[in-house]
Amino acid sequence: MALSWLPTIIFLLIFLFPALVESAIRHYNFTVVLKNTTKLCSSKSIVTINGKFPGPTLYAREDDNVNVRVINKVQYNVTIHWHGMRQMRTGWSDGPAYITQCPIQPGQSFLYNFILTGQRGTLLWHAHISWLRATIHGAIVIWPKKGVPYPFPKPYKEKLIILGEWWKADTEAVINQSMQTGLPPNISDSYTINGYPGPVPGCTSQGYTLHVEAGKTYLIRLVNAAVNDELFLKIAGHNLTIVEVDASYTKPFTTDTIFIGPGQTTNALLTTDLQTTGKYLIAVSPFMDTIVAVDNLTAIAFLRYEDTLAFPPPVLTTTPAINATSETSKFMDNLRSLNSKKYPAKVPLTVDHSLYLTIGVGINSWPTCVNGSKAVGDINNVSFVMPSTALLQAHYYNISGIFTNDFPGNLPVPFNYTGNFTGGISTSNGTRLYRLAFNSTVQVVLQGTGIIAPESHPIHLHGFNFFAIAKGLGNFDPKNDPKKFNLVDPVERNTISVPTGGWTAIRFRADNPGVWFLHCHLEVHTSWGLKMAFVVDNGKSPDESLLPPPSDLPKC
C-alpha cells in the first residue's frame, strides 16, 4: 500500500526540486582503435577514438560529473588529456603521460572521472603522449547549467569546426626520426577542417560544408587541434563576433579574421544575411612570422546557404599573409574578459611568487645526431627530462629521486633575450618542478628568446585558467611594463601566444593541489623539452586536498 506512493514521490522530487537532478553523471566509452579514413584520401591507417576523425564530441553541462572509460586497443601507450578542464582535486584524470599518470598500455583501460565545476564553453580533449594527438582529438562542449542563458543572444543553432593537421606519413615515425637525427620534423601535408584535408595534390577530398539558413545567428565553436601551427580562419563575406575563448566569456568584438593557436578554442557568433543564397569560402592558413618552415597550404571549406543552386561560383576571400603579426596582435588586444557581475574576472591583485621564465629553442651538441647537434627546447635554460614514473604519484606517495623542487623562477645570469646570438647558451637537463603553497598567487612573465630564431609560442598551463595581463615586444622591462598591466578585465584562458621576440605576463591563483604541466603547445617544442611543471601542495582542509588516486590508475 505504502509503496504505491513511491512513483508520485519520485515525480515530485524530480519536477518540483530540479536542483536535485541538475548535475548529472555522463558516461562515455572511448576505445582507441586503428582506422582507415577515406576523408584523408589515403589507405594508411590512423589511430583514432571509436574509429572517428576527429573523435567523438563530449557534450556535458556545467557541474556535470564526466566519466570516460578509455580502452586501449592499439600498439601504442595512450593517455587522454581534457585540455582546459580545471580538474579540481582530480589531477589523476588530467592525462599528460608521466606527469599525472603512467600511460594506458595496450590492452588496458582507465576511467577518467572529473566534475565540470564552474566551467562552460568549448574545450578540446586530445591524446597526451608523443604525437598521438595528431589524430586522437575532439571537442568538448559544456553548456551552461539548465535554465542559465548565454550572456549573448541565443543562437539559432550551434556548429563545431575542428582544425587539425595531417601528415601522409605516420606521425609517430615523423617525430621519432626527428628525435634520432636532431633535425626538425617534416612539416605536415595539409591542415584539416572537421577532418577533411585540402586541397592536397593527388587527393580529391569532398571537403567540409557548413550548411546555414538565411537571416539566422549561429554559434561557431572553433577548436585548433593542429600539432604545430597557429592558424587564421576567415569566412568570405561574413564577420564573426567573438564571445568566448578557452571556455571563458569575453566582451563581444567583431572581426573578419580569427587567430587561434593549437590548444585554443574560440566561440563566435555568425549572423547570416537575410536574403542571400550562395556559397562562401572558409579559409584556414598558418601564421609564422619568422624563418621556421611550416606547411603553407591554405585549407578550405564552404559555407553554403540552403536553396542555393547546385554549383554556384563561390564567393572568395584572401587569407592574411603568413607573417601577419599585426593581425595576430590586433586580435589578441581585442580579447577582454566579459567581467560582468555574474562572470567577474577574479584577477589576483597581489603576487606571492613572481617568476620570469625564458622560453626558447636552441641547439646543443650531440655527437650521435646527423650534424653533431640537436635542437633543444628549454625554460630558463632547463630542458625538461620526462621521468619514467608519473610525477603526481611521486608527489602523492613521497617517492624521492623522481623530481626536484628547485626549478629556477628567474635566470641567474640575465642576457639580451631577444637580441642576436653569437655564442651558444648552454642548457641543462632536469626534471625540476616549481613548488607552490595552496592558494598562493603567481605572476609569470613568459619571455620569448631568439636563440636560433625567435618564434611565437602558444604556452599552455594545466589545472588553471590564468589572466593574460600584458604583452610586449623585446625584453620585458620590470620598471615600466608593469604600468600597463590590465588587472581589471584581462582575458582569461589556458593557452596564450607569447609573441615572437616578445613577452606575455600572466597571473593565476594556485587553488588546485597537484602536479600541473606548463608547456609549449607546438608539439615539436614539447618533444624538444620546452616544458616544466608546478607542484601545488594541499591546503589545510580535506576539501583543499588532492583526492586519493583511482584504483585503476595505470602502472608504469
Residues that bind ligand C2O (CB under 6 A): 81, 83, 96, 126, 128, 263, 460, 462, 517, 519, 521
Q: CB-wise, 128 or 336, nearer to ligand C2O?
A: 128
Nearer residue to ligand C2O within complex by CB, 462 or 471: 462
**Buried b or exposed e, range 276-298, using 16+ CB within 10 angstroms:** bebbbbbbbbbbbbeebebbebb
Do 97 and 128 form a contact (C-beta atoms < 8 A)? yes
Least distance to ligand C2O, CB of residue 517, Å: 5
Q: Please, which residue, 42 or 265, has the CB nearer to ligand C2O?
A: 265
Please, what sign has the CA dihedral across residues 512, 385, 77, 49? positive
- Minimum Å gap between C-beta 24 and ligand C2O is 26
Residue 72 or 526 with smaller CB distance to ligand C2O: 526
249 close to 151: Cβ distance less than 8 angstroms? yes
Q: Which is nearer to ligand C2O, 89 or 128 (CB)?
A: 128
Yes or no: say if 320 and 232 are a contact pair by the CB < 8 Å rule.
yes
Q: Cell triple for residue 240? A: 564573426
Min separation Cβ 309 and ligand C2O, Å:
42
Residue nearest to ligand C2O (CB): 83
Q: How far is the CB of 47 from ligand C2O (least distance, A)?
A: 17
Q: How far is the CB of 329 from ligand C2O (least distance, A)?
A: 23
Cell numbers 582535486 correspond to 89
What region does 409 belong to: left with phi over 0, alpha with psi -120 to 50, or beta? alpha
> 488 and 339 in contact (C-beta within 8 Å)?
yes
Residue 403: how many other CB atoms lie within 10 Å: 21
The neighbour count for residue 463, using CB atoms within 10 Å, is 26
Extract the C-alpha cell encoding 125. Answer: 580533449
Per DSSP, 418 falls in state T
Residue number, 129 or 243, with CB nearest to ligand C2O: 129
Q: Which of 536, 531, 507, 510 is nearest to 521 (CA)?
A: 531
330: helix, strand or coil: helix
Helix (H, G, I), strand (E, B) or coil at 526: helix
Degrees to nearest 5, angle at CA 93 with 92 and 97: 80
| Residue nearer to ligand C2O on the CB measure, 128 or 507 | 128
Residue 422 CB, nearest distance to ligand C2O (Å)?
34
Q: Is residue 160 within 8 Å of residue 210, measured between CB atoms?
A: no
CB of 391 to ligand C2O, least distance (A): 13
Place of cell 583511482: 550
CA–CA gap between residue 284 and residue 267 (Å, rounded): 16
CB of 527 vs ligand C2O, minimal distance in Å: 12
**In the complex with ligand C2O, which residue's Cβ is closer, 356 or 517?**
517
Q: Residue 234 or residue 525: which is nearer to ligand C2O going by CB?
A: 525
**Nearer residue to ligand C2O within complex by CB, 336 or 462:** 462
Q: What is the 3-state secondary structure (H, E, C) of 177-190?
A: HHHHHCCCCCCCCE
Give 60 or 223: the residue with its C-beta nearer to ligand C2O.
223
Q: Shortest approach of ligand C2O to residue 227 CB, angstroms?
A: 11
Cell of 283: 579559409
Contact indicator for 151, 339 with CB cutoff of 8 Å: no
Q: Please state the closest distance from residue 134 (CB atom) to ligand C2O, in A.
A: 12
The Cα 162–Cα 544 span in angstroms is 35
Q: How far is the CB of 371 from ligand C2O (least distance, A)?
A: 29
Of the pair 188, 241, the CB lying nearest ligand C2O is at 188
Q: Hunting for cell 651558444 — which residue is that?
A: 424
Shortest distance in whole angstroms from residue 98 CB to ligand C2O: 12
How far is C-alpha 366 from the chain's CA centre? 31
